[in-house]
Chains A and B, each alone.
Chain A
């Protein structure tokens, strides 16, 4: 419900405009115009309609169905039953030529309920797609169309002495022939508000397959037929023995029939605001009827969900649990959409439903990818399948996929996501292999190089928790946020590492060559504008070893890694 509400949205532009377009189209035809160079193409309107019957007379076939309900086909079937019953001359209560009344009486004999009140498991569903062509100033008629239908009758009554079993079904499609079917749409602009009338009178061949059986007299008799492709073969048994063997009469009657033409009839008169509508009612036989229709100038669809960004959640293994949702006009064709969700390498994708079909399809990604480059711009598509001739596919939705910056649900699992992914970017400056994360640093320490104290660490730099990811350079004052802060810290520590190797070489730090104990080799101080006699040559509050690193930080081109930053929050997710 929630999803439907979300997808319904505040604006349905096509439906709001369609009445106006229709008026313009119709009125346009009324305006006298100069003779065109070529014959004008008649205006057309498209439409769809669902027509559904559930209950008695949904499809007029089957012994049970016909005996209980009577129907268009009932008399035919009853005539055959009447003929068959003639074979059971010994049955009490039936004359030699039983009438329909007799037949019904016979059926009702000993039945403790009103059969008309029994449930009938019979359904018929049809889906019509059609194009109407302007035929006069105010009316449109059927140009072309198709009906897709299905029916099933699985009625089963066990009434003691009588068992009635229908098991019949059929489905198919047929083009709508303007010679035998009509759909007209007429506008009345004199009404206030203006109205339309939709008149549907369609028939289509509806052959079915299956069997229908009537057993009675506690198994003494059985009348049945098997129908296939319009050919119905009857069979009659007495005491389980074919009747022909007992009476010498032919019990295997065959009907070669034209397929039944199923009639669909519907009339709707309403204001133009109801060019999309739905009705349900009980017909004269108390069957449940449902009609949904939609008239439109073109089939349109657009993706409404997901939005333009998706972020893996914080908990392991990291999930994106979302849904694709489209607005489709006519809405009924939403079921025809098939969704394609992007492959995020390293993340497992599942969808519900599994065939990714429908107006709304849930999807789930589980597990964060290994590579930072897998995040970012992706495309979600929805394409029409059966309706691709009628509908243009919605524009693909561009989405950007993010990881949760401060979670630790990356494939490593022991370091925060920002560290795991940012070191793969330009901000890592190619030092990912020499970079370690230390969760136990002092709160004001963003990174460190340990080579001066421990030679086993002279090829590593450590990155600490970056706090709120904002910092300023203690010497130059340059201020950084987010991934730029990470880049500055990496560059600062890497400068220490490089300086260490440059100044102290393979033999490592030697305090005898560092009179002022500022960790800069005396012979190298002047190259940096520093004094070999002063620990803090610049008087800014640091030992000289820090100044080259602070100054080097500012060589990082601010924003250079923004386009690789898929952290949320981050440079591309609206954060910093």
Chain B
């Protein structure tokens, strides 16, 4: 009995399984809708990596800290083309410029949360690599003034030396203290010795801010600070005096 059953099973297996392989692939044509249905039964990953749409949402989140966190994750997402990341970051930066949240400085900071966020977005743009450069240059060419300035700074932070003249102009002429302080820093990064006169003048920049941290309240002159740092990076010697005064000591 058992050998007979075994033989019968093998025969059925052959007819039902092996034999079908020789037919002309009927399943895709007969049940073309089967595949998508099967896919829908697969549960999504519990912690899905956010796609570009989710990242765009994160950059528009009402909470500025979520916007900051989303932006700072973008350099770590090589799976998304840098051009796309640059595009959504520039969109976000434009929104932040156009509609600041009037947020106070967060704990320990001397700049408002809006300003910190704009600084971080600009830094992040500089960290996306060469593939992001075309998007930044387009913004330089055709973007609104405030966005254009930050695109220039991002290129400078990324080491693109050709923007140095425009950065110097920003340091000299911008009435936006965030831009001036970053421009000063960028000139040091670019090792732009032509900027020394502008940087020396920036050591007397009038912009000051106050903050409060573990040592209590403090005053800072951010443009002077960054100009002093840039001059030191250029090999100059800067002396820090009392009351946030700086003096360039020529070598």
A-side residues, CB < 8 A to B, are 442, 444-446, 448-453, 470-472, 474, 476-479, 496, 509, 515-517, 519, 531, 533-537, 539-543, 545-546
Of listed B106, B108, B119, B232, residue having the most chain A CB within 10 A: B108
Contact between chains at B108 and A546 (CB < 8 Å): yes
Is B226 a contact partner of A539 (Cβ separation < 8 A)? yes
- Name the contact of B225 in the complex, choosing from A453, A477, A496, A534 (C-beta under 8 A): A534
Bound together, the chains give a CA A448 to CA B213 distance in angstroms of: 8
* A543-B216 in contact (CB<8A): no
Bound together, the chains give a CA A477 to CA B185 distance in angstroms of 21
Q: How far apart are B36's CB and chain A's nearest CB, in angstroms?
A: 31
Q: A533-B229, A542-B109 are in contact. List 7 more A-B contacts (CB 8 A).
A: A472-B68, A519-B213, A533-B238, A536-B222, A539-B181, A539-B185, A546-B213
Known contacts A472-B66, A476-B72, A479-B65, A543 near B240 by CB under 8 Å? no
Q: Among B15-23, B25-33, B110-118, which stretch is in contact with chain A? A: B110-118
- In whole angstroms, what is the CA distance A476 to B72 when docked? 7
Within 8 A of A (CB), among B59-106: 63, 65-66, 68-69, 71-73, 104-106
B175 in the interface (beta carbon within 8 A): no
Asked whether A543 and B68 contact (CB < 8 A) given A452-B215, A453-B216, A533-B238, the answer is: no
By beta carbon, the residue of chain A nearest B120 is: A477
Interchain CA distance A509-B216 in the complex, whole Å: 13
- Complex CA gap A343/B214 in Å reads 45
Which residues from 196 to 213 on chain B have a C-beta closer than 8 Å to any C-beta of chain A? 211, 213
Shortest CB–CB separation between residue B100 and chain A, in angstroms?
15
In the bound assembly, the distance between CA atoms of A546 and B218 in angstroms comes to 13
Q: Is the CB of A472 within 8 A of B220?
A: no
Whether B218 lies near A474 (C-beta < 8 A) is no
Check B228 for interface membership: any CB of A closer than 8 A.
Answer: yes
Q: In this complex, what residue of A is CB-closest to B116?
A: A541
Report if B173 contacts A (CB, 8 A).
no
Assembly CA distance A51 to B90 (angstroms): 82
Q: How many A-B contacts at CB < 8 Å in the complex?
A: 110
Residues B220 and A478 in contact, CB atoms below 8 Å apart: no
Q: Which residue of A lies closest to B72 (CB)?
A: A477
Q: Is the CB of B214 within 8 A of A448?
A: yes
Chain A residues contacting B69 (CB-CB under 8 Å) are 472, 477-479
Given known pairs A452-B214, A496-B214, A533-B238, the reply for A539 and B104 (CB within 8 Å) is: no
Q: Which of A448, A509, A543 is the one whose CB lies under 8 Å from B220?
A: A543
Neighbouring A residues of B229 by C-beta, 8 Å = 531, 533-534, 537, 539
* Shortest distance between the CB of B111 and any CB in chain A (Å): 4
CA distance A531 to B240 in the complex (A): 11
A-B contact pairs, 7 of them (CB 8 A): A451-B214, A474-B109, A517-B215, A519-B213, A534-B229, A535-B225, A546-B108
A contact residues around B182 at 8 Å (CB): 539
Within 8 A of A (CB), among B208-251: 211, 213-216, 218, 220, 222, 225-226, 228-229, 232, 238-240
Which residues between 165 and 213 of chain B lie within 8 Å of chain A, taking CB atoms?
A: 181-182, 185, 211, 213
A496 to B215 CA separation, bound complex (whole angstroms)? 11
User: Complex formed: what's the CA distance from A235 to B215 in Å?
Assistant: 104
Contact A536 B225 (CB under 8 A): yes
CB distance from B169 to the nearest CB of A (A): 19
Q: Are A474 and B72 in contact (CB under 8 A)?
A: no
Contact (Cβ within 8 A) A519 B73: no
Of the candidates A519, A536, A543, the one having the most CB atoms from chain B within 10 angstroms of its own CB is A536
**Please, which residues of chain A bring their CB within 8 A of the CB of B115?**
541
Residues of A within 8 A of B239 (CB): 533
**Contacting pair B218 A449 (CB below 8 A):** no
Contact between A541 and B111, CB atoms less than 8 A apart: yes
Nearest residue (CB) in B for A511 is: B215
In Å, the complex CA distance between A509 and B215 comes to: 10
Q: Is the CB of B107 within 8 A of A535?
A: no
Whether B228 lies near A540 (C-beta < 8 A) is no
Is B65 in contact with A545, judged by CB distance below 8 angstroms? Answer: no
CB distance from B184 to the nearest CB of A (A): 8
B213 touches A545 (CB 8 A): yes
Known pairs A453-B215, A477-B73, A533-B240; A470 contacts B63 (CB<8 A)? yes
Closest 3 CB pairs of A and B: A477-B72, A479-B69, A472-B65
